Amino acid sequence: MALRITQRTWLVIVIIAFMTTVVHTESGVSGDIPDDVVYTDLHKTVRIGDSVVLTCQFRGTPLAVYWKKGDDPRTAPNLVSWIPTDDVTGLCEGERPCQVMEMNEDRSLAIKEVSIAEEGRYICRVSSYRGILIHNFTDIRLFSIPEEPYPIIKQCANDSSQICSISASESITITCLATSFYPDLDLFFLHGSQKMKDIGSTELTNHDGTKNKSISIKASASNTPYICVASDIPGSKDQRAATIMVNSPMISPTRGNEGFPAPSSTNAGTMEKTPDTMELTPRSMEITPGTMEITPGKRTTKIGNA
């Protein structure tokens, strides 16, 4: 019986050691964790609206764990704290932390539906099993990809995958925009290989902290398209573009005062006839005495008076 217990205990120890090694390897940590060290992620980049887990690793069973937000572990306010008598999820402090944050069994911090309010530096502060206060930091960086489609040229339909065309007899203003992005994005116009100087730009902040941006240029009729380019797009290394052609208006033909073609010199007088044929009425043609009288269907000749 004693042998069976010893074998089972040894198996549990081996399993725990294996699991610990796996956790350390996945987190980029090799070997045992020293007594006076806390391992955390250096930073996390998160899309707004997604969830994220901030890890906190240390040696042994702690006396307490505190997740804080700020730069100074002594003065930064607590978000979620835990002591061995608490539930696994810990004790939250504040309206927003209690809505979106809780601890996991391994004392990591889980944040759901991340908003711009969650951007910043997080501190995992641990009271170790030896009663020593130790800590480390994780910085959360947020981003939001612009709302599709983008970029949009205001003078075109909202479909950046198509080239649109407009007509202009003189220079016009063309505006390009992108919406609901974070933190930053660059917009500019190209005409051929030339980057055009804008005549105005605006950047507005939405209620959720995302941004809208627009730029405008002056454009004239040209055989070369105007291209709006979006670069430095949050969460992407690519560029996006929208294209517009500015054409000269077509010249309408000359028209008369009443909206009809002006008459030419050859149609001052006209001859009207019935369609396709000219009809002669069936009548006789008489000639004075001494001439030939013609009646329909026959011919007679009379000489002298009738």
**pLDDT for 293-303, tens place per residue?**
444 444 444 44
Does the pLDDT of residue 259 top 60, yes or no?
no
pLDDT at residue 60, rounded to an integer? 87
The full 3-state SS of 204-249, as one line of letters, equals: EECCCCCEEEEEEEEECCCCCCEEEEEECCCCCCCCEEEEEEEECC
- Both tokens assigned to 141: 């960086």
pLDDT band at residue 32, thresholds of 50, 70 and 90? Answer: confident
147 alpha carbon, distance to own chain's centre: 3
On the 0-12 / 13-18 / 19+ scale of CB atoms within 10 A, 135 is middle
C-alpha–C-alpha distance, residues 34 and 65, integer Å: 17
Of 269, 189, 259, residue with least CA distance to 222: 189
β-pairing, 43-47 vs 133-143, is: parallel
Question: What residue spans define the domains of the chain?
Answer: 33-143, 152-247
C-alpha–C-alpha distance, residues 226 and 33, integer Å: 59
Does the pLDDT of residue 174 top 70, yes or no?
yes
pLDDT band at residue 98, thresholds of 50, 70 and 90? Answer: very high
**pLDDT for 197-218, tens place per residue?**
999 999 999 999 999 999 999 9
Contacts of 156 by beta carbon, 8 Å cutoff, 6+ apart: 162, 164, 166, 242, 244
pLDDT band at residue 14, thresholds of 50, 70 and 90? Answer: very low
pLDDT at residue 36, rounded to an integer? 83
Of 41, 75, 76, 81, residue with least CA distance to 63: 81
Please work out, in degrees rounded to the nearest 5, the angle formed at the alpha carbon of residue 293 by the alpha carbons of 291 and 297.
Answer: 155
On the 0-12 / 13-18 / 19+ scale of CB atoms within 10 A, 153 is buried
Q: Which CATH number fits domain 33-143: 3.60.20.30, 3.30.413.10, 1.10.150.120, 2.60.40.10?
A: 2.60.40.10
pLDDT at residue 136, rounded to an integer? 96
Does the pLDDT of residue 261 top 70, yes or no?
no
C-alpha–C-alpha distance, residues 121 and 123, integer Å: 7
Contact 106, 142 (CB under 8 A): no
Whole-model pTM: value is 0.66
CATH class of 152-247: mainly beta
